Structure 1
């Protein structure tokens, strides 16, 4: 066995080079942390797997400078505007749902949902990580043992016929649903009963004639011969067809190339199509949550911590947001500006979000199954196509409308509100969002809202762009007052707090004008009031009126949010 020298010790070792693990590495490395990513695969995946990048995740990618690259690799926006239900891809739609109307999307975020295959997402993220000098990525390196000790973790890593020990202060297990890290640290997994089982047929074929440039991310096929879902990976020649299968189906034996060919021909309505089958991957329609997300200095993120079906597209997004949540906290502990107790807030905050997303995904799956069962009735299919079928078409359209929450999930994407030890609760009621309706809020714990502003040089910016991975103090006026408070708090805590102010006239850096009234409407801050935004873009504290001693108030808020070195008000 070969042991690593002290120079091969890292701040954080990340097990798994999927989108979640690489996202964690990017966030940590851009803060200057020495990170290593260990991946048991010999090379990056060539499978599309997940494909939905929701707007909140795109905001995170925007902060890392990769959002535009993801959009270039993804389904063209003009081909990613909705969802259709048809008897075959070649047929006219029985019903459609738009993804989201333009006005609503513009109000909630500077970014939009992007449909981009996971293999291409991984490629973009790995290229971005390669730009960071403190990051190392090793493929064909499998972690086989974890030993925790005072001040660090030793990972036994097998590469080819050799073994080595990689040492890190912290470890993130981002190694997927069958996580080795989860097993090695003894974290159990609570799994639901399965609603069913599906197989994803990934294939290449030019479907331009059948698709007719219709802007569907998903094509729901409902007929007597086959029921399934086409996923448009690029809208041209890269597709997935997902079908329900029995619990005891032997996919390797039954999904032969000939069987897949006939299935795809029927579903597309193109009888002479010759698709190139790339893979057939079975999966269960169920949910699972790890019993513990932290054991000592080892943390679980992404599918290692939680799993749920893709109906609604929250799996990969939840994992990347896990990474975004834990990275700044690890950085604060490594920098000595926070105690390790801050790290307990990771599971406290993210578990509730994961459980909610899991339950909603299962509900979406049930709704899809009910729609498919309804459409399997031959009389229903006959009436939908018949002149006398107006009533049935109205019933079907109503059923499609009941699935809207799966596709119009603005509240689910933006409206979750953290609570607990890393949030300074101000005692006001939480503004509750629904799945579909996002209630804009600056309540402590909420994602700081998107608002359009103008910089001092006339550039248009989103408030989201102001939260670049550090602590930000955003005020309604009183720029000098809050700037002095930020300087005092930064001096006392060692934590850089960047002041930004919205003013009638902007004259310098970090000053902005609310030309459209967006900030006044969405932040609802009285003159002189302010919000403190955490490095992950969530509100840590809010002052709805101007405090007498703002420096002390801000320092106290930082301490209450888990950071060291600030004076906490006496009881």
Structure 2
């Protein structure tokens, strides 16, 4: 019996497999297809997703093929910017640029190659999971070998269903979907050019009531248009070469590009009402589907995996009570629901087809830009900055839990500069600002901290590091806060200690003298998670 079975090796399934591999969890992955789908689908990932890929040890491969996005603006009928999403040339609090432009096949290939590092993780392509039964000890899945058309059974302790929107497992378990009543047909056209075209590098949304259209620049001569179908149009009437060439002709001479892919998609907004059914969990498109206007489909699935895997690992290693797994849905559901609702609202603004309403929208936003603070806010929107819901947090925390901690560059004891997460991958971290948590925590059970794999780290300033005027327990790691960002965060929140989860969300923080209570809260949360 393996620890975890994963059905589906798309983005959510493959990142989950890599994260489980990093934790030493025996995992078997089944995917119906022989190869990765070769054509582009998702086109961006956010900075926090780069951070997740970093935790899987694969960020260098992804950065090598993923340039920073130039931005995303929404234009009115006259081509004037109405609003846009925040972009920065430098790194965000997560240690990466705000958004990276990707080609999904390249990212999936890098993640699949990452599985080769783990002898305890195996991938079986051309194998489809067709059913599951479960009891208090584990799951038994029925798997069909697509080539030989034969069936076999595989036993595991848990099943992660990451099969996509048409999930067999979700249907078998009878899990219902909340329907946001948002269904619109859009034509997707991906093209290749032998040389760069005279087109913007920034992604643009043309909010024209006659034909709303999205323009996306992939880089390296790769471009995409997403074009909304009008009432009465169907996939059969628009997905034809002569029609496609006419539709993209306002932006590019069709003779100068090769049409790589076309497809008509129905943009949905759906959310599973249950993400856990006993020992089975839903991830990615199996759990949620959303319009693409925020570019959050792939990213949301990876966040699902990151949230669930560290909890599963602690349960499987006997470090946490099995009830902690219930917090997967209570934490992730509100975050995803917020993104879906925002995407639907944005879609309604984009897809206004009534001329008078479109004129009113444009005039309103033009007038709002007369106010400098409002104009700045409209061009600095964020796509996914929602906190996770209640779950594994300090119930008495005075700081904002449910948000990611910052990831600045820090200096290790040997002088190497690294991103913060590298100092203790996939473990709880107890940070002491100019204080050694182990030396200060005289009343804390250090044996319990070791059992939970809590890494104690002392953060010192540059001047302290230069003078050597600090002492640390032999088991305490020491990092130098060269940029002063960790100290500034703690000063802002008026705390001396910060306890971070393996996924780098803040569990809690406290002043000196309150550390024992914080650690007791952690032990209690893992034994009996906060009621939600």
Instruction: Tell me whether the two structures share a fold, i.e. TM-score over 0.5.
Output: yes
Other-structure match for 1:144: 130
Query: How far 1:289 sits from its partner (Å)?
Result: 0.8
Report Cα offsets for 1:302-359 as digits up to 9, x if no partner. 1111111111122211110110000011111111111210100111111111111110
Other-structure match for 2:432: 475
Pick from 535, 545, 548 the counterpart of residue 502 of structure 2.
535
SS class of match (2:91):
helix
Pick from 408, 411, 431 the counterpart of residue 454 of structure 1.
411
Cα distance in 2 between the residues matched to 1:94 and 1:527: 43
Gaps of 5+ in 2: none
Q: Is the 1:479–1:500 contact (alpha carbons within 8 Å) kept by the matching residues of 2?
A: yes
Q: Identify if the C-alpha distance between structure 1 residues 526 and 299 changes in structure 2 by more than 3 Å, giving closer, same or farther.
A: closer
Tell me the TM-score normalised to structure 1 length: 0.80
Q: Is the 1:223–1:376 contact (alpha carbons within 8 Å) kept by the matching residues of 2?
A: no
Query: How far 1:447 sits from its partner (Å)?
Result: 1.4
Pick from 227, 233, 239 the counterpart of residue 243 of structure 1.
227
Superposed, 1:65-214 pairs within 5 Å as 65-74=57-66, 76-77=67-68, 80-83=69-72, 94-95=80-81, 100=86, 102=88, 106=91, 108-112=93-97, 113-159=99-145, 160=147, 161-194=149-182, 196-206=184-194, 208-211=196-199, 214=200
Q: Is the 2:186–2:264 contact (alpha carbons within 8 Å) kept by the matching residues of 1?
A: yes
Q: Is the 2:3–2:26 contact (alpha carbons within 8 Å) kept by the matching residues of 1?
A: yes
SS class of match (1:124):
helix
Q: Identify if the C-alpha distance between structure 1 residues 335 and 483 changes in structure 2 by more than 3 Å, giving closer, same or farther.
A: farther
Report Cα offsets for 1:102-153 as digits up to 9, x if no partner. 48x5352211210102222111111112222211111111111111123111
Query: How far 1:392 sits from its partner (Å)?
Result: 11
SS class of match (1:136):
strand
Query: How far 1:554 sits from its partner (Å)?
Result: 5.5
Cα distance in 2 between the residues matched to 1:120 and 1:350: 27
SS class of match (2:164):
coil
Other-structure match for 1:431: none
Q: Is the 1:487–1:497 contact (alpha carbons within 8 Å) kept by the matching residues of 2?
A: no
Cα distance in 1 between the residues matched to 2:76 and 2:341: 29
Query: How far 1:294 sits from its partner (Å)?
Result: 0.6
2:390 matched to 1:419? yes
Cα distance in 2 between the residues matched to 1:253 and 1:316: 29
Gaps of 5+ in 1: 1-8, 385-390, 429-441
SS class of match (2:349):
helix
Query: How far 1:446 sits from its partner (Å)?
Result: 2.5
Other-structure match for 1:329: 311
Other-structure match for 1:279: 261
Cα distance in 2 between the residues matched to 1:449 and 1:316: 22
Cα distance in 2 between the residues matched to 1:534 and 1:86: 40
Q: Identify if the C-alpha distance between structure 1 residues 69 and 360 changes in structure 2 by more than 3 Å, giving closer, same or farther.
A: same
Query: How far 1:222 sits from its partner (Å)?
Result: 6.3
SS class of match (1:204):
strand
Report Cα offsets for 1:470-525 as digits up to 9, x if no partner. 11111112216458669943446622111111124246872123333322221238
Cα distance in 2 between the residues matched to 1:292 and 1:526: 35
Other-structure match for 1:267: 250
Q: Is the 1:261–1:275 contact (alpha carbons within 8 Å) kept by the matching residues of 2?
A: no
Tell me the TM-score normalised to structure 2 length: 0.86
Q: Identify if the C-alpha distance between structure 1 residues 478 and 93 changes in structure 2 by more than 3 Å, giving closer, same or farther.
A: same
Query: How far 1:85 sits from its partner (Å)?
Result: 6.3
Cα distance in 1 between the residues matched to 2:239 and 2:449: 65
Tell me the matched-pair count: 515
